[in-house]
Structures are given as structure tokens and as C-alpha cells.
Chains A and B, each alone.
Chain A
Amino acid sequence: MSDKRSSEALKEFISETEEIVESINLDLVTLAEGLDSGEYDPDLINGIFRGAHSVKGLAGMFGFDDLSQLAHRMENLLDQLRLGKVPFNQLTVDTLFNALETLSRLINGKSEDEHFTFDLTSCFERIEQAALGKAATGDDPLAGLAIDQAILNVLTEYEEHRLLENVKKKRNLHLVRVDFDLSSFDQELAELTQQLKQQGEVISTLPCVGDIGERIAFQVLFGSERDQADIRALLGRDSLDIRTFGETAAPAATAAPAAGMIFEEPPPLPAVGGETLPATADAGSLRSISRTVRVDIDKLDLLMNIVGELVLSKGAITGICERLRGSGEKELAGDLTKATRILERRLHDLQKGVMDVRMVPVGQLFEKMTRIVRRVSNEQGKKVELDIRGADTELDKLIIEDVSDPLMHIIRNAIDHGLETPAERREAGKPEKGMICLWAAQKGNHVVIEVRDDGRGIDPERVRRKAVARGLIGEGQELTRGEIYELLFLPGFSTRDEVSDLSGRGVGMDVVKNNISQLSGMVELTSETGIGTCMTITLPITLAIIKALIVKVAGQTYAIPINSVQETLMIDSSTVRTIERREVLELRESTLPLLRLDRTFSLVHGERPAEQKLFVAVVGLADKRLGFVVDDLLGQQDVVIKSLGKVLSFVKGVAGAAELGNQKTILVLDVAGLMGEALRGESVNHV
């Protein structure tokens, strides 16, 4: 590592650890607020624990032994606190604060000079002293309870967790032993459970070991603030065998929780001025800040790429399995297949995990839009109400970023062109306040964002005249309403005679459309004069890894993103009909327009018989459908889409390139783009 790089890495280290220290500090402050009541949110300690753990890991990587040792000791103390082995009291919290301060001093020192250090002995001693507050031995957090190991052994992780929660709440733990007739034990147990639940939590029901005769015995592990006498009274049975853990001499049935079995009451603190601080329950609000980690999207991209490449490598291994099987190594192939399956599951988890990290609610985007709506409506003197729905719909962070400009433009358009002035609206009998709806919803693998206004709508006749004037269409050309609205997306089209301050700025709807197409998305417009306009943006949830249908056309392979493939058909070439010079296929009482990929990409076929079986991949986006005619379907595969780069960005109909597992590169079709053009009926020739 060069000096420059190492100093950059150090800088990053310092900034990250500083951030962690800051976050731990916030959590500790919140934690300390619970000292009076003796209660705390277990997540706080977990958060601090994780923070210390991260510092330990980072410091270790940089060879900062002192830092790493200190973080390690903090981690230990926190772990014991977390598992209830160290009491939650002033001493423990003070020790943690002191350790954190030392940690912070070390980090600050290292930011000036890598070799900075000082004597940590006293700090270490202090932590170790605090850790001596041990109430139990052994590593098992539950070992400190007087509950039989045999019982702990059969609790599931969740039940263990519930048990610990009860311990943390300082509840009494009762082990109620009951025996029932074999014929009716389930009803009787259910009744008992119901009774108990009124006063606490039934953690687990355990059948008692022993051969079953006429009767069967159970132990019910029950956590409650009530004491044993109360429980007996509650159950109304005299001959109950109840063992209780953690009960103290404190008078039973008082509202105050009885002391837990391993919690020491902290020594009474000197009250300042005789005042007692109220226990703060709502101090958790700070945590939301400190619990998030800001990550550069590039880092996530890198991760995603690596995951994508792993998926490809896995594909290669699957290929080897096949070859092994083919070569007669059945057993080996079987073992490898099994191992691959496990790998595949884990990879899938990993992929999902990384994907989840990238997902952010569109609410973030909508939040920005509210500001724009406010500003634009003020500037325009229009009254606007914004209706946001589906803000929690999640989208890939990258897509959110990239869709933000087009969306902003659409919303500006809606306010600027769509909504009338209050006076106009009054005249039209509409409420003065215009409405802009910003709705998002997930539909399968896509997210649909709708921007709807209740404004004047777009007059198709005006659009048509403009298009004629611009030479975009011929004078007498017949167009449907939908086709007319499509014209709005053509380069250089502006419906306003005067360029607006707002929507103008040289950005037309064609740019909006292009931006969205680049995200493999689609934008559509519907409008009704006098009623309003609706722009619908359909976006894939993520871009990085997709499942694709691999097809073959004239010897070339292409990938079609599977999320837009609705079905595949095998047809006879004689069933293809031609209507208005377009090839179509009758499919279940509807007409499916076809697109021959070989013609689209000007591919030359070898000899072909006249009568031939063809394959059709039916793709659909929004409510449009199109059939890609191909020679063969080769199967499904995970592919990582890579951009073709700026140099090749002029190539139409291609969304990018993808690597197949066997080191081959294929082109991924831009379904939205191809559909748009094919359905518009443009004669397109592609490179």
C-alpha cells in the first residue's frame, strides 16, 4: 500500500470510528436515563455492543492493538450486561462512558499521528472490575438462572429469548407442574394456559420425562410479576407443584416489579437537590439517527456486482455438474449438485440481503416532490393539494435517484400545464384547489408510480395541429388518441406556444421518456379534456441482477428480462397473419402483434423451410403486449446487466450486455424500447 492510499484508508477509518463513537455516545446517554427506573431497551445495549464490535474489527484490521483491545473489553462488558450477568447500574454505565471517552481520545490521537497511544491499564482495570459484578458463571446467558439445564436444553431460540425478556423485566419465573389424564390433557392444558396468560407470559410447555401411563405430566414455564401465592390463588388449585425463581422477600402483589434473580439494585444515588428525575420512556427517538449507516451507493453497486458474478460462477458450476453427469461420474455429480444447491440457497440469501440494503422507500423521493409542489404552486399562484399514497413502496436506491429528475419534471408539468388557475377552476365548476396525486404501488417485479392531476387535460386536437406544424406527422394522417399522446414524447415537442419558465428549460418529455427507458422503465400518458391527465411510470424494482429468458435468433443469442415475459408459445409459421402490414397472432381471442427479432436486428438466416415451428416470447409492460418471434428458447438464467457504455448508447433495442456463466456475452433486449417502437409501427432498423 502506498503512503497516500494508506493515509486515505486511515482517514476513512477515523471518520467511521468517530461516527460509531458518536452513535455509542447517544445510545449510552439514552441508556443512562433508564438508570433510575432500572429499565432499559435491550436494543440499546445491542446497538452499543455492535458498535464496539465494529470498532474492534476495524482497529484490528489497521493493527491498532490498543484500540482493538479496549473495544474488545467494552464488548465483553456489554455482552455480560446484555445477557444479564452484570447488573445494570451506575457503576456499569459510568464504566462504559469512561471507556468510550478513552476510545474517543485514542481515535482522535491517531488521526494526528498513527502511532499515538497511551497507557490504558487503569481503564482496562476499571472495565474488568465492573465485569466482576458477575452474578453467574459460565457462558450460557441462562445458566445463571436456577432453572434446570434439562429445561433450558429444550427451549427453542425464541423461547430462550422470551425467557430472557422476562428475566430482564424482573418478572418472577414459575415452573408450574401439572398432570392430567391422557384423554383430556390438551383441553386442560389449554385452560390452564389461558388462566395463566391473564397474569403473564407462558414461555413454554414441557412434557415431563417418563413413560406415559394413564396420566401425563407437564411443566409450564411462566413469567409473571405475580408471586407464587398469587398464582396459586389464580389457578384455584391447592395441590399445585410450583417452583418459583427470582422471588424476593418483597411483599407480593405490589405494583412494583419484584427484583429479578440476577439483578442487583444499584446503590441509591445521591439525589440532586432532593429531586428525582422522571424515568424517560420516549428517549428512543435519538436512536433512529444513530442506527443507520450511510453507505456510498457505489459501494453497494460493487457488492451487487460481486454477488452477480458469484451467481454467474454458480451457473458455471452447475454446468460442470451436468458435464460430470454426462461423463458417467454420477456419484460425484450428485454430491456436487447437492453442494451447489446449498451454495445456491446461501447466494440467494446474500443476493436478497444486498438487494434489501439497496431498497429504499419511494417516500424519500416523494418528500422531495412535496417541496417542489409547494414552490411551483406558489410561483404559479395555483392552489395545489398533494395526495401521496404508497410511500412505503420500495425501489432500488439507484433507480430512485435516477427517476427523481424525470418525476420532478412530470410534476412541474402537471402543475404548470395541467392545473388551471383558481379562477379558471371556479369557472369550470371545480374546487379552487387543484389535486395532484402521487401514488406508488408494487406490481409483481415492477413499481408503478402514477402522477395524476385533475386539471384541464391535454387537448388531442391541439397536439395534432402542433405535430403537423412541426412536420412530425402529415396533414391528413389519422391517429388515435393514444397515438397522439405518444407524439408528446417525441424530441422537440412542446405544447405551449410560449416556453414556460418552469417546465421549459430545454427539457422535453422526450428526455423524461429517455431517462425512464434507461432504467428499463416505461412511461405512459392518458388524459381527458377537462378532467385531468395521468402519467404512469412503470419501473423494475432493481436493475442489477435479473432473471432472463435466453432466446436464439438466426444463430444469435439474446436475453429477455423475465419480469416482462408473460408466456412463451410454440407456433406454426402458418398461423401468423398479416393485418395492416403488421404480423399478428390470434391468441385466445385477442390479437397479439408480433415483432420478428431477426428483422429488427437485420440478422441473416440460413436455409429455412417454408413451414416452420416458431417460438414466441410474449412480453408485456403496463397493459401492452407484444410477441417476440425467435427461433428457439434456450432457458432461464440469472444475468447481470452491464451497461454498453456511452460509446454504444445509440444502439436501439438493447438495454445492455450480460455475461453468461460460460464466459459468453450476450445482449439484453430493451423490452420497453422495442415495444414502444413496434407498437407505434415505426419502421425501425437497428444496428
Chain B
Amino acid sequence: MPKKILIAEDSPTMRSLIVSTIAAMGEFETVEAANGFEALRILPREKVDLIITDINMPDINGLELVSFIRNNESYRTTPLFIISTEGSERDREKGLALGANAYLVKPFAPQQLQELVRKYLA
């Protein structure tokens, strides 16, 4: 069974960009969440192997999602990347402190994302 990646990102463009970047790798399945709430819904339902979340989302922020995930028995060790914008170093640091494995700064190169995915899911 292919490994599954959850993408929580409120910008449709960014989300589809991430999805297609991962699709191009040809080995993973993706689940999309258009906001934090959707992600919260998906998590208990599906077993995901990697989570990628944006930090700035309208309902709950990505940091809250990271904290939630890291404190959740089923997802304590699931690899997790955060996506932030330039200039939000503090948010990034907080995300890493909360247990995110890596971060990406928008705009990032598709290869960068692919390398990270490969590193954590290989």
C-alpha cells in the first residue's frame, strides 16, 4: 500500500502545487485538508504517514495542529513538516520546538519538498 501524506493548507493554489509535486514522485498517496478543521477530521479517520501543514490557516493555526498531533498517541512519531512564509522565524522555531521535523519556506522549490519527503518516507 502506498504511503499517505496529509496536506493541510488553506490556499488552493499552494495545496495543488504540493499535491502535484508529490504526485510527480509517483509513489505516494495524498489527502488534502483545506483548513485545520478538516485536518482534525481526517486524522482519526485515516492513517497518514506524513503530515505537511501551513502555519497560517484561518481556523486553527498550524502550530496548534502540530501540538495536537504531537500529543496524540497515534501520531506522536509521524513525520511532520511546517510551511511558513519568510519573516516568520519565530513561528518556525515554535513549530520545530513543538515537534515538527522540518520546515519549508514559501516559495520553495518542488525538489526541496521532494527531497524532504523522500528523506522521511524512504
Chain A residues with CB below 8 A from B90, complex form = 157
Q: Does B40 contact A (CB under 8 A)?
A: yes
Question: By the criterion CB–CB under 8 Å, are B68 and A153 in contact?
Answer: no
Question: Are B71 and A210 in touch, CB under 8 angstroms?
Answer: yes
Q: Is A302 an interface residue (CB 8 A)?
A: no
Which residues A182-217 have CB closer than 8 A to chain B? 182, 185-186, 189, 204-207, 209-213, 216
Q: Is B67 an interface residue (CB 8 A)?
A: yes
Docked complex Cα distance between A361 and B44 (Å): 55
Q: How far is the CB of B76 from chain A (nearest CB, A)?
A: 11
Chain A min CB distance to B112 (Å): 9
Contact between chains at B64 and A204 (CB < 8 Å): yes
Measured between alpha carbons, how far is A26 from B74 in the docked complex, in Å? 58
In the bound complex, CA of A204 to CA of B56 (Å): 12
Q: Is A155 an interface residue (CB 8 A)?
A: yes
| Separation of A155 and B59 alpha carbons in the complex (Å) | 13
Please state if A211 and B74 are interface contacts (CB–CB under 8 Å).
yes
Contact of B21 with A by CB under 8 A: no
Binding site secondary structure of chain B:
helix
In angstroms, how far is the closest chain A Cβ from the Cβ of B43?
7
Contact indicator A155/B37 (Cβ below 8 Å): no
- B73 near A156 with CB under 8 A, answer no
B66 at the interface (CB under 8 A from A): yes
- Are A154 and B41 within 8 A (Cβ)? no
A159 touching B71, Cβ below 8 Å: no
Any chain B CB within 8 A of the CB of A339?
no
Q: Tell me if A150 and B67 are in contact (CB < 8 A).
A: yes
Q: Is the CB of A207 within 8 A of B44?
A: no
Cβ of B91: which chain A residues have Cβ within 8 Å of it? Answer: 156-157
Select one of A153, A212, A349 contacting B67, CB under 8 A.
A153
Residues of A within 8 A of B56 (CB): 156
CA distance A159 to B58 in the complex (A): 12
Q: Which residue of A lies closest to B70 (CB)?
A: A209
C-alpha gap A127/B54 in the complex (Å): 44
| A153 in contact with B94 (CB, 8 Å) | yes
A345 beta carbon closer than 8 Å to chain B: yes
| Cβ contact of A209, chosen from B37, B55, B67, cutoff 8 A | B67
CA gap between A211 and B71 in the complex, in Å:
8
B61 CB–A CB distance under 8 Å: yes
Nearest chain B CB to A218's CB is how many angstroms away? 8
Q: Is B17 an interface residue (CB 8 A)?
A: no
Question: Contacts A211-B74, A212-B44: A154 and B37 contacting too (C-beta < 8 A)?
Answer: no
Known contacts A153-B63, A156-B94; 10 further A-B pairs (Cβ under 8 A): A150-B67, A154-B64, A182-B44, A186-B59, A189-B37, A204-B61, A207-B60, A209-B67, A345-B86, A349-B86
